[in-house]
Structure 1
């Protein structure tokens, strides 16, 4: 009997030891700050999501190497939204309810951010998109969304910048607009480009539309060619743009082709071909030709980490992560509400894409650049300050 009691006591002590070890393990596991990343790692715009996540990972790696925040390390929890709005909503819900993140970075595409916005609002979790440019992300029905932020410029700003470039630098009097009617991003840019171009005294001579995943654009390009505009504005993503540019040039359309930051991908040149992209221009967030030491240092660090030069999405991901890291540091808390308040108070934060301040609409005040493609290579054309 005595022997049995001793055996039971030993078992109980072993169980207590295991429980104590388990508690210690949980404590160690929770001694970090979980940040969610909701991005397009597969699907139609996977190139954007993958580049953006690379930039985010580098920023977090550097922050952790510098000691983390409040003595804690940052942990990035990544979810793939498969380039679909419904999957983006699911990913946001998972990151909040299951992974218990204190904030979310992403998604990349405006339509996927919009699908996640109300979920973040309802759960009072800050969501910061590094690349979503649709104005409704931060302001819906005339009201600022408390928990939504961005670290990139907006469609109204980007559309206006390109309209001014077309008028002032290219001396364009007429324009055709070719819109992806399945994309909120493309429709928003088209609307704002048209408003600014007409205000500048220009005339829109043709407006055409296509859908994502279309392959043959010749019918609508024929109408554009007949309209004979001075320039053609194509605010869309590289997958379709590359085919449009290639087919436009094959059909004899020689006018300057203008676009947006969605053009920025190595695959644009791979599909369209270097020659077809001559006399094309697009708005972007930074240029690798910028001689600013901070830009060149980042490029070198990114190359060392990934073996390739960063595109604009990688830079924006890096800057978006740094913006959130800065807010958590200033909040000195992992409370999502305090992080949200700190994000709203961001002012004169030095990032790779320039100095950033957050305005009353939770949008950044920052610069933009015009990139020209020459024989397949991006060249810096102009820098436009806000």
Structure 2
């Protein structure tokens, strides 16, 4: 897209304040998929803030506000808090776009609140298919229509959804030599959804599902009985759909202690964060982790330039979703620019009209369901206490 001066949104003497929301996470994962003060969320939020800070679109001054949907009492995202955040945004006439959510379950709360007032949403991390698509066996019967009651769709996401990631994870399991798999999940929207997709895909690629999808108690003090059950099943790989904050670290420790190193452990992007490695400790070593996209270090072109600048500016590695947060903000600013007026419906429509967008993730478009045309997946192991993204593999779901 050729560079051009941005059009004026209002007369020179006027300004409007644009607040953009990135909810807490992380997961992702998710997710979030992480609590409000987690590295995954703070670095994704940091990427959004960095992009918005230098932005002025025509006569519009862009103001970024970081809202937190986690509560101290819950220690993770909270539906009541997310609803409060959405209503706060809804009732502020200066809010034009809601950048979020990070957690798929939180989006389930906020989409119908914001939809009726034409407030557009762009998520950097939601991967649950049912938010935008009807996929038999993988989403609820009333999804996604239940989230858009008598209103025009307002929700988009820049990350591929889990019917792709779950299928790619099952395919990778087969390529790694697994024959019998046990499927666990944390019972949340994201975790259970991706576990179901994995379990449904497994037989199609020649894997025998010997257990699950089975939900875990995220508050359990140990999982030794469950680990014994997995061992007795004869599984040679365990797939867990869920997020770090739902006790994934303890689950990994007990699975590894009971199953040893011969049984492979795999999880999705809900545990693709340093917090998981910290929680699981040595039990994380050798784990296989999928991600519904490309890790920051593997981005090319404009993405690689962003990656290098991020490291220089913040003196740290960006978490997996930081680039997706940055892209969400770029799309937001581009849509405001194209809408050319302070109007929620016009900006929402401009978001959906995003086509052949040349950003840090590559060149992509939004579909009529609000999904990205990007389908790139990746997988890596935990080696020497870190994610080995240098040797990350490109993954594909079975055709």
TM-score by length of 1: 0.84
Following superposition of structure 1 onto structure 2, how do residues 66-77 of structure 1 map, counting pairs within 5 Å? 68-77=56-65
Flag structure 1 segments of 5+ consecutive residues without an equivalent.
1-26
Deviates more, 1:299-308 or 1:121-130: 299-308
CA gap of 1:291–1:103, structure 2 versus 1, over 3 A, is closer
Following superposition of structure 1 onto structure 2, how do residues 228-307 of structure 1 map, counting pairs within 5 Å? 228-239=234-245, 240-254=247-261, 255-274=263-282, 276-290=284-298, 292-307=300-315
Q: CA deviation at 1:38?
A: 4.4
Higher RCO structure, 1 or 2 (CA under 8 Å, sep 6+):
2
> If each structure's helix is expressed as a fraction of its own residues, which one has the higher value?
1
Deviates more, 1:351-360 or 1:312-321: 351-360
Give SS of 2:206's match. coil
Specify the alignment match of 1:125 in structure 2: 119
Contact 2:53 2:63 (C-alpha < 8 Å) held by counterparts: no
- For residues 274 and 30 of structure 1, the distance between their equivalents in structure 2, rounded to whole angstroms, comes to 57
From 160, 168, 189, the counterpart of 1:161: 168
CA gap of 1:28–1:269, structure 2 versus 1, over 3 A, is farther
From 84, 97, 111, the counterpart of 2:105: 111
Give SS of 2:21's match. strand
Specify the alignment match of 2:202 in structure 1: 197
Q: CA deviation at 1:99?
A: 6.0
CA gap of 1:176–1:320, structure 2 versus 1, over 3 A, is same
Following superposition of structure 1 onto structure 2, how do residues 36-185 of structure 1 map, counting pairs within 5 Å? 36-40=20-24, 45-46=35-36, 47=38, 48-62=40-54, 64=55, 68-82=56-70, 83-98=77-92, 100-139=94-133, 141=143, 143=145, 145=148, 146-167=153-174, 169-181=175-187, 183-185=188-190
- For residues 347 and 292 of structure 2, the distance between their equivalents in structure 1, rounded to whole angstroms, comes to 28
From 355, 358, 372, the counterpart of 2:381: 372
- For residues 217 and 202 of structure 1, the distance between their equivalents in structure 2, rounded to whole angstroms, comes to 25
Q: CA deviation at 1:137?
A: 2.0
Matched residue count: 354
Q: Deviations over 1:1-51 (max 9, x none)?
A: xxxxxxxxxxxxxxxxxxxxxxxxxx9997134133141279963224323
Q: RMSD over aligned Cα, in angstroms? A: 2.5
Contact 2:185 2:195 (C-alpha < 8 Å) held by counterparts: yes
Q: CA deviation at 1:274?
A: 4.4
CA gap of 1:332–1:100, structure 2 versus 1, over 3 A, is closer
Contact 2:290 2:377 (C-alpha < 8 Å) held by counterparts: no
Q: Rg: which structure is higher?
A: 1
Specify the alignment match of 1:19 in structure 2: none
Q: CA deviation at 1:157?
A: 1.3
- For residues 253 and 291 of structure 1, the distance between their equivalents in structure 2, rounded to whole angstroms, comes to 35
